[in-house]
Structure 1
Amino acid sequence: MNAVLQAIRTRRVVRALTAEPIDRERLDAVLDSARFAPHAGNRRLHRYVAVVDPALLRALRMVSPGMLQHPAAAVVVCVDWAEVRSYGFPPSNPGPYIDVGTAAATMLLAAHSLGLGAGPVTSFSRAAVATLLDLPPDVRPELIVCLGRPAPDQPPPVRRRGGPRWETLVRWNRGDAAPPPGRM
């Protein structure tokens, strides 16, 4: 099987991490991967805060009800709204949020490829995180990627029984249930 498709199919949100620290080389590789994610117009509207200090990680957990993990590191993905405005994007433009997702997905795959456990967190107090990280007023945290070594025992995955197959979620062209014959 194609290595990229294999990585996509085997990557999981890791909710149990060990206390073992992450070496700097792997953390740097995860951070570097974000620059290869698609960005609207190839503009760099995001800022990243890498958090490795144990006390600061504990403080982040206290203001992040969605952070079930005890990460050895976290990357806070932020949008620089002053930069967004400087390009003339209206506040309603979804591009910066889409780019948060592409950066996070790329970092999650990079972490997986390096043998790290990772999981995204969106349930947190943006104001509290901005204060803890001493962010400039126009830089707003949007997502946290937790990183660490996967613990041997993981909680069971959250799965729907009999979830839909991809084919049931796709419409072809103008609503056809199947692709046109001979067109693939």
Structure 2
Amino acid sequence: MSGEEPTGGDTAGGDAVLRAIRTRRVVRALADAPVEPGQLRAVLDSARYAPHAGNRRLHRYVAVTRPGMLRAIRMVSPGMLQRPAAAIVVCVDWAGVRAYGFPESNPGPYVDVGTAAATMLMAAHGLGLGAGPVTSFSRAAVAVLLGAPDGVRPELIVCLGHPSPQQPPPVRRRGGPAWTDQVRWEHF
């Protein structure tokens, strides 16, 4: 029974949060329409509700909406397949990390980048926006483009926009383990 899920109440029925989690997708094709400032603020504001190690708030967020800046960032971001109308660059204040006494090897700041990104992706989905994370980019080039202070490094970009009616087919991984093969209950 190690690979089986415990039985319990039916949570799949009408739970809006679980439905949102199940329906959120990375949107790779975005329309040219701008993201409304209120929508961008709402997505950005959602990051503050994400868990942060020790509630230290060692991250900085840069919202980008100027088309020229978005094009420049896209030029140094091979992983940015979409053409976003807006982007939020999640940065880590590594000087602040060191000031708290965390070693460079501490994974906490990276985990916090992930929780902030996941929260912003869900917020965008809830607002009807398309969104997708980008990790393949030149951190040094984006830092220069944004004028990041010393010790602050971009770690992830959240692309935002209105989903285009035509989307490329989803990326499906072939082979590999099934989800049920990856989950165990209580022990391996």
Category of TM-score, reference length = shorter chain: over 0.9
Question: Deviation per CA, 1:16-45, whole angstroms, max 9, x where unpaired?
Answer: 001100100000000000000010011101
User: Which residue does 1:146 correspond to in 2?
Assistant: 159
Q: Normalising to structure 1: TM-score of the pair?
A: 0.92
Residue identity (%)? 77
Q: How many residues align?
A: 175
State how far apart, in whole Å, the 2-side matches of 1:162 and 1:42 are. Answer: 40
User: Which residue does 1:21 correspond to in 2?
Assistant: 34
- Among candidates 132, 145, 167, match of residue 180 of structure 2: 167
Deviation (angstroms), 1:163: 6.3
User: Which residue does 1:180 correspond to in 2?
Assistant: none
Unaligned runs of 5+ in 2: 1-13
Unaligned runs of 5+ in 1: 176-184
Does residue 59 of the first structure (1) align with residue 76 of the second (2)? Answer: no
User: Which residue does 2:143 correspond to in 1?
Assistant: 130
Does residue 94 of the first structure (1) align with residue 70 of the second (2)? Answer: no
Deviation (angstroms), 1:162: 6.5
User: Which residue does 1:181 correspond to in 2?
Assistant: none
Deviation (angstroms), 1:125: 0.4
Q: Normalising to structure 2: TM-score of the pair?
A: 0.90
Q: Letter of the aligned partner of 1:35 in structure 2?
A: R
Question: Deviation per CA, 1:33-73, whole angstroms, max 9, x where unpaired?
Answer: 00000100111010000000000000000000000110000
Q: Letter of the aligned partner of 2:150 in structure 1?
A: P
User: Which residue does 1:33 correspond to in 2?
Assistant: 46
Does residue 6 of the first structure (1) align with residue 19 of the second (2)? Answer: yes
State how far apart, in whole Å, the 1-side matches of 2:135 and 2:32 are. Answer: 22
- Map 1:100-115 → 2, pairs under 5 A: 100-115=113-128
User: Which residue does 2:130 correspond to in 1?
Assistant: 117
User: Which residue does 1:179 correspond to in 2?
Assistant: none
Q: Letter of the aligned partner of 1:30 in structure 2?
A: V
- CA RMSD after TM alignment: 1.1
Q: Letter of the aligned partner of 1:11 in structure 2?
A: R
Question: Deviation per CA, 1:85-136, whole angstroms, max 9, x where unpaired?
Answer: 1111111000000000000000000000000000000000001000000000
User: Which residue does 2:90 correspond to in 1?
Assistant: 77
Q: Letter of the aligned partner of 1:113 in structure 2?
A: G
